[in-house]
Amino acid sequence: MEKTFLMVKPDGVQRGLIGEIVKRFEQKGFQLVGSKLVHITKEQAELHYQEHKGKDFYERLVNFITSGPVFAMVWQGDQVIALSRAMIGKTNSLEAAPGTIRGDYAIHTHLNLIHGSDSPQSAEREIGNFFKPDELVDYSKVIQQWI
Ligand code: RTP
Ligand code: MG
Protein backbone atom coordinates (compact mmCIF):
# COMPACT_ATOMS: atom_id res chain seq x y z
CA MET A 1 0.00 0.00 0.00
CA GLU A 2 1.37 3.44 -0.95
CA LYS A 3 2.35 5.80 1.87
CA THR A 4 2.89 9.55 1.99
CA PHE A 5 4.17 12.13 4.44
CA LEU A 6 1.78 15.00 5.19
CA MET A 7 2.49 17.83 7.62
CA VAL A 8 0.28 20.62 8.93
CA LYS A 9 2.69 23.56 8.96
CA PRO A 10 3.03 26.00 11.90
CA ASP A 11 0.38 28.35 10.46
CA GLY A 12 -2.17 25.52 10.29
CA VAL A 13 -1.43 24.46 13.87
CA GLN A 14 -1.72 28.06 15.14
CA ARG A 15 -4.99 28.59 13.25
CA GLY A 16 -6.58 25.45 14.72
CA LEU A 17 -6.88 23.67 11.36
CA ILE A 18 -5.39 20.28 12.33
CA GLY A 19 -8.83 18.71 12.79
CA GLU A 20 -10.24 20.12 9.54
CA ILE A 21 -7.24 18.88 7.57
CA VAL A 22 -7.22 15.41 9.16
CA LYS A 23 -10.97 15.15 8.52
CA ARG A 24 -10.54 15.67 4.78
CA PHE A 25 -8.07 12.80 4.40
CA GLU A 26 -10.14 10.49 6.61
CA GLN A 27 -13.30 11.25 4.64
CA LYS A 28 -11.52 10.68 1.33
CA GLY A 29 -10.87 7.13 2.53
CA PHE A 30 -7.18 7.23 3.38
CA GLN A 31 -5.80 5.59 6.50
CA LEU A 32 -3.72 7.33 9.16
CA VAL A 33 -0.80 5.13 10.25
CA GLY A 34 1.31 7.58 12.27
CA SER A 35 1.18 11.12 13.65
CA LYS A 36 2.82 13.49 16.11
CA LEU A 37 2.88 17.13 17.11
CA VAL A 38 6.52 18.15 17.02
CA HIS A 39 8.73 21.23 16.96
CA ILE A 40 11.20 20.23 14.26
CA THR A 41 14.91 21.00 14.38
CA LYS A 42 16.79 23.16 11.88
CA GLU A 43 18.65 20.02 10.72
CA GLN A 44 15.37 18.17 10.03
CA ALA A 45 14.01 21.22 8.19
CA GLU A 46 17.13 21.51 6.03
CA LEU A 47 16.94 17.82 5.12
CA HIS A 48 13.23 18.09 4.43
CA TYR A 49 13.66 21.06 2.07
CA GLN A 50 17.10 20.10 0.66
CA GLU A 51 15.86 20.42 -2.95
CA HIS A 52 15.24 24.15 -2.36
CA LYS A 53 18.67 24.98 -0.87
CA GLY A 54 20.08 28.05 -2.62
CA LYS A 55 16.72 29.41 -3.79
CA ASP A 56 15.73 32.91 -2.69
CA PHE A 57 12.87 31.66 -0.51
CA TYR A 58 14.90 28.90 1.21
CA GLU A 59 15.90 30.77 4.37
CA ARG A 60 12.39 32.07 4.97
CA LEU A 61 11.04 28.56 4.41
CA VAL A 62 13.36 26.95 6.98
CA ASN A 63 12.69 29.75 9.49
CA PHE A 64 8.95 29.36 9.01
CA ILE A 65 8.80 25.58 9.31
CA THR A 66 10.86 25.67 12.54
CA SER A 67 8.94 28.63 14.03
CA GLY A 68 6.41 26.51 15.94
CA PRO A 69 5.06 22.98 16.21
CA VAL A 70 3.96 21.06 13.13
CA PHE A 71 1.57 18.11 12.96
CA ALA A 72 3.46 15.35 11.12
CA MET A 73 1.49 12.44 9.67
CA VAL A 74 1.88 9.31 7.56
CA TRP A 75 -1.16 8.29 5.51
CA GLN A 76 -1.64 5.26 3.30
CA GLY A 77 -3.96 4.23 0.48
CA ASP A 78 -4.09 3.70 -3.27
CA GLN A 79 -2.47 6.62 -5.11
CA VAL A 80 -2.29 8.58 -1.85
CA ILE A 81 0.72 10.62 -3.03
CA ALA A 82 -0.91 12.08 -6.14
CA LEU A 83 -4.41 12.31 -4.67
CA SER A 84 -3.28 14.08 -1.50
CA ARG A 85 -1.32 16.60 -3.58
CA ALA A 86 -4.53 17.27 -5.54
CA MET A 87 -6.46 17.74 -2.29
CA ILE A 88 -3.78 20.14 -0.99
CA GLY A 89 -3.84 22.35 -4.10
CA LYS A 90 -1.27 24.28 -6.06
CA THR A 91 1.77 25.87 -4.36
CA ASN A 92 1.09 29.36 -5.71
CA SER A 93 -1.77 30.84 -3.71
CA LEU A 94 -3.26 32.47 -6.81
CA GLU A 95 -3.53 29.06 -8.50
CA ALA A 96 -4.84 26.99 -5.56
CA ALA A 97 -8.41 26.16 -6.54
CA PRO A 98 -11.38 26.50 -4.19
CA GLY A 99 -12.17 23.07 -2.80
CA THR A 100 -8.51 22.34 -2.11
CA ILE A 101 -7.04 22.90 1.36
CA ARG A 102 -4.85 25.79 0.22
CA GLY A 103 -7.61 27.18 -2.00
CA ASP A 104 -10.09 27.18 0.86
CA TYR A 105 -7.87 28.36 3.73
CA ALA A 106 -4.63 29.99 2.55
CA ILE A 107 -3.95 33.43 1.11
CA HIS A 108 -0.14 33.51 0.84
CA THR A 109 2.26 31.08 -0.89
CA HIS A 110 4.65 31.14 2.07
CA LEU A 111 1.85 30.46 4.60
CA ASN A 112 0.22 27.56 2.80
CA LEU A 113 -0.78 25.34 5.72
CA ILE A 114 0.27 21.89 4.63
CA HIS A 115 3.05 19.89 3.03
CA GLY A 116 2.63 16.71 0.98
CA SER A 117 5.30 14.45 -0.54
CA ASP A 118 5.61 14.86 -4.31
CA SER A 119 6.92 11.38 -5.28
CA PRO A 120 7.48 7.89 -3.82
CA GLN A 121 11.17 8.73 -3.35
CA SER A 122 10.36 11.94 -1.45
CA ALA A 123 7.76 10.13 0.66
CA GLU A 124 10.26 7.48 1.76
CA ARG A 125 12.92 10.06 2.61
CA GLU A 126 10.49 12.38 4.41
CA ILE A 127 8.85 9.60 6.45
CA GLY A 128 12.33 8.48 7.54
CA ASN A 129 13.25 12.05 8.52
CA PHE A 130 10.27 12.35 10.88
CA PHE A 131 9.33 8.85 12.06
CA LYS A 132 11.08 5.79 13.45
CA PRO A 133 9.72 2.52 12.00
CA ASP A 134 8.12 1.57 15.33
CA GLU A 135 6.13 4.83 15.37
CA LEU A 136 4.06 3.61 12.40
CA VAL A 137 1.27 1.11 12.91
CA ASP A 138 0.00 -1.65 10.66
CA TYR A 139 -3.72 -2.37 10.91
CA SER A 140 -6.72 -3.22 8.77
CA LYS A 141 -9.79 -1.03 8.61
CA VAL A 142 -13.04 -2.83 7.86
CA ILE A 143 -14.26 0.12 5.77
CA GLN A 144 -11.31 -0.24 3.37
CA GLN A 145 -13.14 -2.90 1.29
CA TRP A 146 -15.77 -0.28 0.33
CA ILE A 147 -13.36 2.35 -1.00
P1 RTP B 1 5.56 21.77 0.13
O2 RTP B 1 6.85 21.12 -0.30
O3 RTP B 1 5.74 22.67 1.32
O4 RTP B 1 4.50 20.76 0.30
O5 RTP B 1 5.02 22.71 -1.01
P6 RTP B 1 4.99 22.42 -2.57
O7 RTP B 1 5.51 21.05 -2.87
O8 RTP B 1 3.64 22.77 -3.06
O9 RTP B 1 6.00 23.51 -3.10
P10 RTP B 1 7.57 23.46 -3.25
O11 RTP B 1 7.91 23.86 -4.64
O12 RTP B 1 8.12 22.17 -2.74
O13 RTP B 1 8.02 24.65 -2.31
C14 RTP B 1 8.14 24.46 -0.90
C15 RTP B 1 7.53 25.64 -0.19
O16 RTP B 1 8.33 26.79 -0.46
C17 RTP B 1 7.52 27.94 -0.56
N18 RTP B 1 7.72 28.56 -1.85
N19 RTP B 1 7.82 29.84 -2.01
N20 RTP B 1 8.37 31.41 -5.22
C21 RTP B 1 8.18 31.35 -3.91
O22 RTP B 1 8.15 32.33 -3.20
C23 RTP B 1 8.01 30.04 -3.31
N24 RTP B 1 8.02 28.89 -3.96
C25 RTP B 1 7.84 27.95 -3.03
C26 RTP B 1 6.08 27.50 -0.40
O27 RTP B 1 5.68 27.77 0.93
C28 RTP B 1 6.13 26.03 -0.65
O29 RTP B 1 5.13 25.34 0.07
MG1 MG C 1 7.37 20.34 -2.15
| Pairing verdict, β 70-76 and 31-38 | antiparallel
Ligand 1 lining (C-beta closer than 6 Å): 52, 57, 61, 91, 109-110, 112, 115-116, 118
| Confidence check on the interface: ipTM exceeds 0.90, yes or no | yes
Residue nearest to atom 11 of ligand 1 (CA): 91
| The CATH number of the domain covering residues in 3-136 | 3.30.70.141
Q: Which residues are CB-neighbours of 5 under 8 A, at least 6 positions away?
A: 72, 73, 74, 115, 116, 117, 122, 123, 126, 127, 130
pLDDT(43) > 80? yes
pLDDT for the residue 146 = 85
Ligand nearest to the CA of 115: 1
The verdict on pTM exceeding 0.90 is yes
Reference 7, options 127, 93, 121; nearest CA is: 127
Ligand nearest to the CA of 101: 1
Gap from CA of 115 to ligand 2 centroid (Å): 7
Is 115 catalytic? The answer is yes
pLDDT(71) > 80? yes
Q: Enumerate helices (H) and strands (E) in the chain, giving the number of each.
A: 7, 4
Residue nearest to atom 4 of ligand 1 (CA): 115
